[in-house]
Amino acid sequence: MNPPITLIGSGNVAWHLGPALENAGYPVIEIFSREKRNAKALVKRLYNADHTSSLDFKESSSHVFIICIPDDAIEEVAKEIIIPEHAILLHTSGNTEMNILEYSATSNYGVFYPLQTFSKNKKLSFTEIPILLESSNKDTYKIIEKIAKSISENTYKVNSQQRKRVHIAAVFASNFVNHLLSLSEEILRKQNLDFDILKPLIIEQVTKSLNIDPENAQTGPAYRKDFKTLDNHVEILQNEYSEELVDIYKMLTQSIIDHYS
Amino acid sequence: MNPPITLIGSGNVAWHLGPALENAGYPVIEIFSREKRNAKALVKRLYNADHTSSLDFKESSSHVFIICIPDDAIEEVAKEIIIPEHAILLHTSGNTEMNILEYSATSNYGVFYPLQTFSKNKKLSFTEIPILLESSNKDTYKIIEKIAKSISENTYKVNSQQRKRVHIAAVFASNFVNHLLSLSEEILRKQNLDFDILKPLIIEQVTKSLNIDPENAQTGPAYRKDFKTLDNHVEILQNEYSEELVDIYKMLTQSIIDHYS
């Protein structure tokens, strides 16, 4: 039988991870959360889970405890939580070292990091989400790998050092990309043009980047070293937009030129 | 009957535009190109087009001449080309003013700019591609709008000033976004990790940005003002990666912080 699971937290990760675990045959029996409303909404998504606001799980029949809370609260919870002997304690953070869990009462701990952006109102299939795994010992690894493989086709063994760098790469590929889309929308807004006008281009560009690799998909005036257009763009940005847009334009343009020289 | 069309150029834009026009009922009867091999390959994609390497179209039965060549060659072609009286001369460039065509022999000219990234080996449906239109007079506009609407559901009247700014926005949303994906791949490569690990995140992030608007889709340590993580990332980039990555990280982080303050 699959070991029962307890989720610590009721935010976006727990919201998606809970039902995915249950669908894969892992009963989620407890939700710890100090946010009652969130916890109750998540409990409703599950077959037979209870809400608790105590971190004392000495008497719990759960075997795996997954911490899904903001990074800066993990250490405190790890120190406070009491779990049954031999149970496993995991966190789900990209940027937090595994060893933050070593001060908990268990010697079986690890990381179960789903590399994805989660929001509650958006359905997600876990099947393709990469899950990055790390553990304090081999037996723990076997168990958490089995759980990960039951919900995703992409699991990776990644240590804390690597995971942090993956997280930095994710900042570039997700947070920064999204911000550039915001800036492009801002530029259009000043021309009374709708962001919709750019959407087919964005979809095609990103599809191409992922299919043939971004380095093979680079185009544009910087790539062509079309200095006339580049100067013209900088001039327009200088005259009509913010210093910030000028600086970002210049820096990314220079980076493209350097990369393809 | 729909007016016959001549394409000047046999690059990526002509490659996709030619067949799209024919499917919409506009016969493409001539391809001008100095690149014989490209021209012949394009002629093969068309029903009944001829290849020519002369810009003298005095005797042509074509009514619309569409220049699809690199920006810096448009002016020269416009000055050299001879087209029948009353025929229309168009260019397809995002960053080139319409008036560059005023020195041609015709008073009917304009811009027919498909806002998309084209590559020959990738099939594309024109239906969703925005086409930005501008013309020297109303009669010309009517004709080119009819052509544009026959191949795309998204046509916009956009003057040269606006078009240039749309092009700048496209550089942010397409060229710069692609380059950030290259940088993220570079960061992963140093950890011996494959770019595949980021793909589900990128797809989900961009889908979300387009669905709920990038400003509503922003997440990450800069957005959360999680200075501990930000400092940690900068330190890692400083110690293990290039100065360039540090600068880009700092600049985009600051821009996100400023935007959401």
pLDDT confidence of residue B1: 80
Residue A164 has pLDDT above 90, yes or no: yes
Name the helix (H) or strand (E) containing A166: helix A160-170
pLDDT-derived band at B106, boundaries 50, 70, 90: confident
Q: Please classify residue A175 by burial: count the beta carbons closer than 10 Å to its beta carbon, then call 0-12 exposed, 13-18 middle and 19+ buried.
A: buried
pLDDT-derived band at B103, boundaries 50, 70, 90: confident
- Rounded to the nearest integer, the mean pLDDT of chain A is 95
Q: Mean pLDDT over residues A55-69, rounded? A: 97
pLDDT-derived band at A35, boundaries 50, 70, 90: confident
Q: Which of A100, A159, A178 to mutate to test the interface with B (most CBs of B within 10 A)?
A: A178
pLDDT-derived band at B16, boundaries 50, 70, 90: very high
Q: Which of A69, A151, A171, A194 to mutate to test the interface with B (most CBs of B within 10 A)?
A: A171
**Termini Cα distance of chain A:** 58
Which chain A residues have a beta carbon less than 8 Å from that of B128? 200
Do the Cβ atoms of A201 and B116 come within 8 Å?
yes
- DSSP lists the bridge partners of residue A135 as A110
Residue A124 has pLDDT above 90, yes or no: no
pLDDT confidence of residue B35: 87
Q: How far is B174 from chain A (nearest CA, A)?
A: 6
ipTM rounded to 2 decimals: 0.94
- Smallest CA–CA distance from A247 into chain B, residue: B251
pLDDT confidence of residue B121: 80
- Judged by a CB distance cut-off of 8 A, whether residue A113 touches chain B is no
- Smallest CA–CA distance from A205 into chain B, residue: B174
**Which residues 1-60 of chain A have a CB within 8 Å of chain B?**
none
Considering only the beta carbons, identify the residue of B179, B210, B233 that sits closest to A171.
B233
CB A180 within 8 A of CB A206: no
Residue B104 has pLDDT above 90, yes or no: no
Q: Mean pLDDT over residues A220-239, rounded? A: 95
Number of inter-chain CB pairs under 8 A, A vs B: 288
**Termini Cα distance of chain B:** 58
pLDDT confidence of residue B52: 96
Q: Mean pLDDT over residues B126-132, rounded? A: 95
Token pair, residue A258, equals 């350097």
Q: Mean pLDDT over residues A228-234, rounded? A: 95
- Judged by a CB distance cut-off of 8 A, whether residue A127 touches chain B is no
- Each residue's pLDDT tens digit, B107-124: 999 999 999 998 888 888
Residue B163 has pLDDT above 90, yes or no: yes
What percentage of chain B reaches a pLDDT higher than 70? 100
- Each residue's pLDDT tens digit, A77-110: 999 999 999 999 999 999 999 999 998 878 999 9
pLDDT-derived band at B162, boundaries 50, 70, 90: very high
- Each residue's pLDDT tens digit, A39-50: 999 999 999 999
Do the Cβ atoms of A115 and B232 come within 8 Å?
no
What percentage of chain A reaches a pLDDT higher than 90? 93
- Smallest CA–CA distance from A166 into chain B, residue: B188
Higher pLDDT, A218 or B121: A218
Do the Cβ atoms of A72 and B191 come within 8 Å?
no
Q: Mean pLDDT over residues A177-198, rounded? A: 97
Q: Mean pLDDT over residues A203-226, rounded? A: 96
Find the angle CA(B129)-CA(B132)-CA(B137) to the nearest 5 degrees: 145
- Smallest CA–CA distance from A219 into chain B, residue: B175
Token pair, residue A57, equals 């799980």
CB B237 within 8 A of CB B246: yes
Residue B105 has pLDDT above 90, yes or no: no
Q: Mean pLDDT over residues B47-73, rounded? A: 95
Chain Cα centroid distance, residue A243: 31
pLDDT-derived band at B15, boundaries 50, 70, 90: very high
- Each residue's pLDDT tens digit, B165-209: 999 999 999 999 999 999 999 999 999 999 999 999 999 999 999
SS3 state at A28: strand
CB B156 within 8 A of CB B167: no
Rounded Cα–Cα distance for residues B247 and B254 (Å): 11
**Residue among A149, A144, A84 nearest A112 (CA):** A144
pLDDT confidence of residue B109: 97
